[in-house]
Amino acid sequence: DASDIEKGTYPHYMLKEIDEQPLVMRKIIQAYQNEQEQLAVDSEIVEALKAADRLYIIACGTSYHAGLVGKQYLESLAKIPTEVHVASEFVYNMPLLSKNPLFIFISQSGETADSRAVLVKVKEMGYQALTITNVQGSTLSREADYTLLLHAGPEIAVASTKAYTAQVSVLAILAHAAAEALGMKTNLNLVHELGIIANAMEMLCDAKDEFEQIARDYLTTTRNCFFIGRAIDYYVGLEGALKLKEISYIQAEGFAGGELKHGTIALIEDGTPVMALATQEKVNLSIRGNVKEVAARGANPCIISMKGLESEDDRFVIPAVHELLTPLVSVVPLQLIAYYAALHRDCDVDKPRNLAKSVTVE
Ligand code: G6P
């Protein structure tokens, strides 16, 4: 049928969409390049960010995880205070708002009911909204004041992959543009760095055998799996855990490296897999300390680190990229590990039970 044609030679949409990430990265670079070949966004969007005293990112699921990374970008590059909220909570449990808030909705589909409920409410309150979405003309795009597109192409697999990396990239471009407009020195040549990212993603997509083997070694029979990371790696760990649980039904949870010992370490048994990310120099020693803590209690750690920060215990070393942009690269092994874990467990990779691609009920 038609969907088979679209899948081409791929057994699943998810694998195809993981593989498309280098291409999407290059499409985004093209789409956001201005005449000076620098990455830019519409000046009215930059003006809206400049005028805001605080940004409120609203999203669900994977898009929420991209929002957490986006907060880091907006605060570290543009120095604009940013909060990230799960849409379903925000609508009933609204925090005290700043004087001039700007709302940023992140939604692959642009149709998620929980996010839309917040958009309707904040528009009623008279506030401005920007939607970052993959679907032009979607509800969240039409009802917001501004839209930034992801240019990821249709995402069919329920588990989101290329939309996540597209969201993180567009958030980096937005934060960088706002930083420039606000006169902040960023020392970040984003076109160049995103080009490096595209190449690194390609290298990871070529290393599928290694991630299939990791899935085999760690996840074939396990009941649960923990993901740890510190700083920006923590947010990627949350996304890695979500990918794994969504499609393999392994109970997977992501934690800040330092937090596991405050409770969850009680769940560590002999052989419990713990995926640890180590891509950040400032926390490299402390995350490795956390790995030792769980290993001493019987855990089976799988360290994924970055070139320049690696040590001999690491299971996989990703290519070196700019320290702010590591989520774009470190998430790829986690997507592939989740894919192969689900495959080995005979799960329906593209259509996991109980889940929908886009949830249009509250
Ligand atoms: C559903 C999907 C998730 C997605 C979430 C938000 O739960 O299964 O993959 O992250 O909705 O979707 P959105 O389209 O708003 O990004």
Q: Does the beta carbon of 141 sit less than 6 angstroms from any atom of ligand 1? A: no
Q: Are 333 and 318 in contact (CB under 8 A)?
A: yes
Burial of 75 (0-12, 13-18, 19+ CB in 10 A): middle
pLDDT for the residue 5: 55
Ligand 1 probe mutation, 359, 361, 362, most atoms within 8 A of CB: 359
pLDDT at residue 68 greater than cutoff 50: yes
- In testing the pocket of ligand 1, which one of 108, 162, 361 has its CB within 8 Å of the most ligand atoms? 108
Residue 362 above 90 pLDDT? no
Percent of the chain residues topping a pLDDT of 70: 99
- Decide: 59 and 105 in contact? Cβ < 8 Å: yes
Q: How far is the CA of 295 from the centre of ligand 1 (A)?
A: 34
Ligand 1 centre distance from Cα of residue 358 (Å): 5
pLDDT tens digits along 83-94? 999 999 998 899
- Predicted local confidence at residue 7, as pLDDT: 87
Closest residue CA from atom 13 of ligand 1: 107
pLDDT recorded at residue 1: 47
Q: What integer pLDDT is reported at residue 4 of this predicted model?
A: 53
**Amino acid 348: pLDDT:** 92
- Ligand 1 near 160 CB (within 6 A): yes
Cα(108) to centroid(ligand 1), Å: 7
Write the pLDDT tens digit of every residue in 193-231.
999 999 999 999 999 999 999 999 999 999 999 999 999
Ligand 1 centroid, distance to 356 Cα (angstroms): 8
**Residue 91 confidence (pLDDT):** 86
Q: What is the rounded CA–CA span in Å between residue 271 and residue 268?
A: 8
* pLDDT, mean over the chain: 96
Structure tokens that stand for 132 in this block: 């970052």
Q: Counting beta carbons within 10 angstroms of the beta carbon of residue 211, is it exposed (0 to 12), middle (13 to 18) or buried (19 or more)? A: buried
In terms of Cβ atoms closer than 10 Å to its own Cβ (0-12, 13-18, 19+), residue 207 is: middle
- 8 Å CB contact between 320 and 203: no
Q: Which of 17, 57, 58, 62 to mutate to test the pocket of ligand 1 (most atoms within 8 A of CB)?
A: 62
pLDDT over 90, % of the chain: 93
Residue 134, ligand 1, Cβ within 6 A: no
Pocket test for ligand 1, best of 85, 111, 358, 361 (most atoms within 8 A of CB): 358
Alpha carbon of 362 to ligand 1 centroid (Å): 13
Regarding the beta carbon of 275 and ligand 1, being less than 6 Å apart is answered: no
3 state DSSP class of 21: helix
Helices 326-344 and 162-181, axial angle in degrees (round to 10): 170
ipTM topping 0.95: yes
**140 in ligand 1 pocket by Cβ < 6 Å?**
no
**What's the gap in Å between 157 CA and the centre of ligand 1?**
11
Q: What DSSP letter does each residue of 86-147 carry, written as one string? A: EHHHHTTSPPPP-SSEEEEEEESSS--HHHHHHHHHHHHTT-EEEEEESSTT-HHHHHSSEE
Ligand 1: centre distance to CA 186 (Å): 32
- What pLDDT shows up at residue 184? 94
- Residue with the nearest Cα to atom 8 of ligand 1? 357
pLDDT of residue 283: 98
CA distance 89 to 362: 11
DSSP summary character for residue 249? -
Could you tell me which residues come within 8 angstroms of residue 221 by beta carbon, excluding any fewer than 6 positions away? none
Catalytic site positions: 357
> Is residue 165 over pLDDT 70?
yes
DSSP state of 206: T
Calpha distance 14→216 (Å, rounded)? 19
Instruction: Answer whether 358 contacts ligand 1 (Cβ < 6 A).
Output: yes
Range in 52-66, 158-172, 316-330, 348-362 with the lowest mean pLDDT: 348-362
Residue 67's pLDDT band (cuts 50, 70, 90): very high
Q: What is the pLDDT of residues 296-354, one digit of tens each?
A: 999 999 999 999 999 999 999 999 999 999 999 999 999 999 999 999 999 999 999 99
Place of tokens 């003309």: 137
Is 175 in contact with 74 (CB distance < 8 Å)?
yes
Residue nearest to atom 15 of ligand 1 (CA): 107
Tokens of 312: 């001999």
